Chains A and B, each alone.
Chain A
Amino acid sequence: MVDVQLSDAEKIYILHGIQDNCREDGRSCEDYRHLEIESNVVSNTTGSARVRLANTEILVGVKAEMGNPAPEKPDKGRLEFFVDCSANATPQFEGRGGEELATEISNLLSRSYDCPSCFDLSSLCVLPGQQCWILYIDVLLLECGGNLFDASSIAVKAALFNTRIPKVTVREDEGHTELEISDDPYDVQRLNVQSVPCIVTLSKIGHSHVVDASQREEACCLARLMIGVTEKGTITAMKKEGSGSLDPASVEDMMETGKKVGQDINISLTCVLKMEERQGVKRQTIGFLR
């Protein structure tokens, strides 16, 4: 995590506040900060999205490339997650400084996408055993304001929703096959992201837990639970992180909250993305010029 130093008294103030269900910015424990999203922001990607959650800024680009399927899964494509913590976010990330955090985020993302029932990899298959689409999902972290895991997963889902893979027609030609990739921007294949998960991080601070912790709150937190939650309310990956431990009962409580908030996020995200899509091509990309 990105280090913020706090004095003992500040920590106590935050801790008691959370106990009182009144956080430093007036939110209650289960409130999310307001989140802004825009997709299709990088034109040379197959799909992209930008998410801003308070001071956390994330840009995700998806690139589809052709490749060979893994031999143990000949009829499936692949997702490759890569996270880069830009030094723009904090000088701590300069050089290889952000690598540890980056691997942690990409590991959890790939784990939460690693179940066929939530993302159908066979839709990425072109020619079984020979050719498939590999989706490189590159997450770029541009500014840190806490809750990086959740924000990354939301941006990834939005970018996948935005992804349009060119249609491929397979033609048999005298024994050898030929692939023809359509260059019509409307002749595309969309991905089904209906049951794709979003990550919800529950930070245990004192005896209570909060969602969407700010950086200062993260500095007070010794143990957090990260859960990949789908729209249906199922769980696709779970992980405890941090140097502290949790009471079995509070793990259950946190899972309960995570399920509720996770479903909320998924539902309103889908709703917003569909709204954006309805605006169609008329919509002007705002990006970083605002």
Chain B
Amino acid sequence: MAGLELLSDQGFRIDGRRPHELRKIQCRLGIFKQADGSAYIEQGNTKVLAAVYGPHEIRGSRGKALHDKVLVNCQYSMATFSTGERKRRPRGDRKSQEMTMHLKQTFDAAIQTALYPRSQIDIFVEVLQSDGGNYCASVNAATLAVIDAGIPMKDYVCACSASFVSDTPIVDISYLEESSGGPELIVATLPKSEQIVFLEQNSRLHEDNLSKVLDLAVKGTKDVHHVLDQAVREHVSQVSAFENTDQS
């Protein structure tokens, strides 16, 4: 890596984190009034909004309805100003279509789809600012939005990325680390039951190191889960505390 030291001799990354440290996560549930569920998450400078509509009657052609489970419909979209260089189209390009598919697969695995036969759940994700880990932030935001909508899930789905730089695995990589050409591993898990629902790896990584990187990424998802869970608990406590006092 010419001129760019991803990991300093002292063991710090460009943004000052240690290899195993996540970026700061801030999130909020219930952003929108009209959607059934919504959430906003900031992971460092990556900022994502998610909205969930449903479960509701299938819109458009009835033919899409599944007789034994709910149809999970996703759309991944990036604001044209979200990237360093302006994007020409917010969606419809190959990359976002792929993301849309990945999101759909991820949430098909986590939502208890059998509970709502013949209906549909929409998950819409909008990346407002992108600084690496778009998929991860999207999954994390969508999880919160699904929970906010009160849709039953087996567990949270949390996603985290990892890379491998100068013999050290690093977690939750930023755009700079992502674009340096090193390997990138993305994983989404159900943290409590420790199951992997999505796994992707790009670029070259020696097989001996795979487990090290994967372990760190999975650990990352658990850390993410911890933060999200905290936010959900706070949100629910706040809302229901109020409801209870009123009923007395």
Contacts and interface: CB of A to CB of B under 8 A. Distances in A.
A143 B40 contact: no
B26 A63 contact: no
A150 to B, nearest CB: 19
B34 A55 contact: yes
Given A88-B49, A90-B34, A142 B126 contact: yes
A43 interface: yes
A136 B86 CA distance: 8
A247 to B, nearest CB: 35
Given A84-B90, A95-B75, A61 B124 contact: no
A140 B81 CA distance: 9
Interface residues of A, number: 34
B126 A86 contact: yes
A143 B32 CA distance: 7
A88 B81 contact: no
Given A55-B34, A90-B34, A140-B126, A289 B28 contact: yes
A94 interface: yes
Contact of B45 (A43, A59, A94, A96): A43
B49 A290 contact: no
Contacts of A61: 79-82
Nearest to A46: B81
Nearest to B87: A138
Interface in B122-144: 122, 124, 126, 128-129, 131
A65 to B, nearest CB: 6
6 tightest Cβ-Cβ pairs between the two chains A and B: A61-B81, A288-B40, A88-B51, A87-B124, A138-B80, A63-B86
Given A88-B38, A88-B51, A289-B42, 14 more contacts: A42-B82, A55-B34, A63-B81, A84-B80, A86-B124, A88-B35, A88-B49, A90-B34, A91-B122, A94-B75, A136-B80, A136-B81, A136-B86, A138-B81
